[in-house]
Structure 1
Amino acid sequence: METRVRAPKFDYIIRKGFRFFQVLNNYEHHSNGRLWVIWNKESLRITALSSGNQWIHIQVEDLGCVTFQASFVYGLNFVEGRYDLWTFLQHIRPHHPWVCLGDFNCVREVEERISDTVPNLQVIDDFNEAVYGAGLDDLLTHGCKYTWTNKQEDGDRKWMKLDRVLVNSAWQTSFTSSYADALAAGVSDHSPLVVWVTPDEPSRPKQFRLVNHLKLIKPKLKSMHQRDFSNISGRVKDAKLALQRCQLLLQQTPLNAELLSQEKNLS
């Protein structure tokens, strides 16, 4: 989501980083290609069903379980722009299990935000009306309560649950043990979402990943001086874990000035 990659660079990046994968995008609906769906073509059969400037809707087969449909969403950041998204959601109503996940750019409840601005209750009602009309509800989610932050310090910090996983009743029936994890954001301002898809019979959970910001990091370490760059992979891992621990603590006390400063230093 929010790849910030213009269409002319898309093919180059796919060739360099994802040549063994299949990819869908929505460049035909938005010049920034706001959504990419990437999968292992050896493991999954994906059929594109619909796309727009705020969604890509697919059918997924060969997961070792029943066929299901998935909608990846990245809602526009202005109210009127999301009306098309709400209409899309209410017109899907598939008979298959359906998971709808991503950044909806809106909360469902006032309690899902910490901000000094007054919430627009009509905007919240519009979102909930679309969710109910589509026959969807939140999937059980562990981890971060607030999935987006503006990463400002002190009183300027804002927190919101903009990213979520919604499922229909057929999904709940087919995947009774499925759940989602909202992970620490790391260097992004959004939490990655991971949906664990588990059929009713005992088996190892299969990971179905959504990462709110795709960052291609492929460091090339060549001829680095041992004194300055020894154990660099270990230090990067330690720094990442320290940032994650800090961000998880911030979920408990979102306006803790000491933790906000620590997060800034670790980012």
Structure 2
Amino acid sequence: MEKEKFKIGLLNGLIVPKVGRSGGLAMLWNGDIKVEVQGYSGNYIDAIVTDPDSGFKWRITGFYGNPVTHCRKDSWNFLRCLNQKYQLPWLCFGDFNEIVSMEEKLGGVQRSQRQMDKFREVIHHCKFKDLGYYGPDFMWSNMQQGENRKYLRLDRALATPDLIDLYKDIKVHHLVESTSDHCVLLISNATVQKYPNSRRFLFEAMWTKREECKDIIQEVWDESQELNSPIGIATRLRCCAENLSRWNKRVFGQIPRQSQKKERSSVLWSVEIRMVAWAARLI
């Protein structure tokens, strides 16, 4: 993460080291804003942000819920404690390791209703509203095949009404990351450029056998296009998809699609996004 700070130009920040082979948190920012970290551990980073133009203060918390089911109540109790600290507009986001209803789960055994209710209760206690999302419905998959595969919406962004009133254009995007079991959570109040009427891009597994595929991806992401903005990321993603599609048509020709009922052998494409403002469970 220390190296990534310099790559993406976010030189200020706090990095909580991982323990063992996984874990670790990071919150990075540029020098244009004032961020004061109020507390942190292996499960959260809490900070107060001051707008440089208006002097307006608001609160941001990156949160990681306990992955052990019977210990998750400790996470909710701690979230209640954080709620009592300050009376500021508040944005709280991350991997909560819990869902609020069975609609946020696909596959696997039935979730305990009491377990989901406890999460809903702490959301209401903190006066949070779910910011919704654009993109895939589920943020996590166990990466198994067939009937053993499970999907859940474990990651989300929550905010208090006063923050939503101030940042009316705030949006949450779920970005597919092909190398992780989680999607990337992108939160922004800037407009992310959309390209309607375009076909959904699929990354073919067979491409990875060709060295040209890696070269195309590397060339796009080494360009000087700005990476610390949603528009910059969207532009890179679109350019990478277009270049790979042209290369595929030239080298492989048109690949026929399988039946919709058959499980996809291709995976939704997502290149490695280097603008990491929040990274949880680093490996």
Q: Same fold (TM over 0.5)?
A: yes
SS in 2 for 1:171: helix
The residue that corresponds to 1:211 in the other structure is none
Cα 1:230/1:148, change in 2 over 3 Å: closer
Root-mean-square deviation (Å): 3.3
- What is the aligned counterpart of 1:90 among 80, 84, 94? 80
Name 1:247's counterpart in structure 2: none
> Is this contact kept in 2: 1:34–1:74, CA < 8 A?
no
Do the aligned partners of residues 264 and 132 (structure 1) sit closer, same or farther apart at CA in structure 2, a change above 3 Å counting?
closer
CA distance in 1, matches of 2:35, 2:72: 26
Distance 2:40 2:243 in 1: 35
Deviations 1:192-223 (A, max 9, x none): 111113xxxxxxx289xxxxxxxxxxxxxxxx
Q: What is the match of residue 27 of structure 2? A: 37
Identify the residue that residue 39 of structure 2 maps to in structure 1. Answer: 50
Q: Provide closer, same or farther for how the CA distance between residues 57 and 131 of structure 1 changes in structure 2, counting only shifts above 3 A.
A: same
Q: Gaps spanning 5+ residues in structure 1: where?
A: 1-12, 198-204, 208-226, 243-254
2:215 maps to which residue?
232
The count of residues paired between Structure 1 and Structure 2 equals 213
TM-score by length of 2: 0.65
Q: Label 1:139 to 1:240 Cα distance change in 2 as closer, same or farther (>3 A).
A: farther
Higher relative contact order (CA 8 A, sep 6+): 2
What TM-score comes out, normalization by structure 1 length? 0.69
How far residue 52 of structure 1 moved from its aligned partner, in angstroms, is: 2.9
Per the TM alignment, residue 76 of structure 1 is displaced from its structure 2 partner at its CA by 1.9
Give 5+ residue unaligned stretches, structure 2.
Answer: 193-209, 221-239, 246-259, 272-283
Post-superposition CA distance 1:85-131 (Å, at most 9, x none): 21122223332211100100111111100122121111111111111
SS in 2 for 1:186: coil
Letter of the structure 1 residue corresponding to residue 263 of structure 2: E
Distance in 2 (alpha carbons) for counterparts of 1:126 and 1:240:
47
Q: Quick one: distance in 1 between partners of 2:49 and 2:269?
A: 41
Give, in whole Å, the separation in 1 of the partners of 2:5 and 2:270: 29
- Report the CA distance shift for 1:184/1:239 in structure 2 as closer, same or farther (over 3 A): farther
CA distance in 1, matches of 2:215, 2:157: 36
Show the counterpart of 1:252.
none
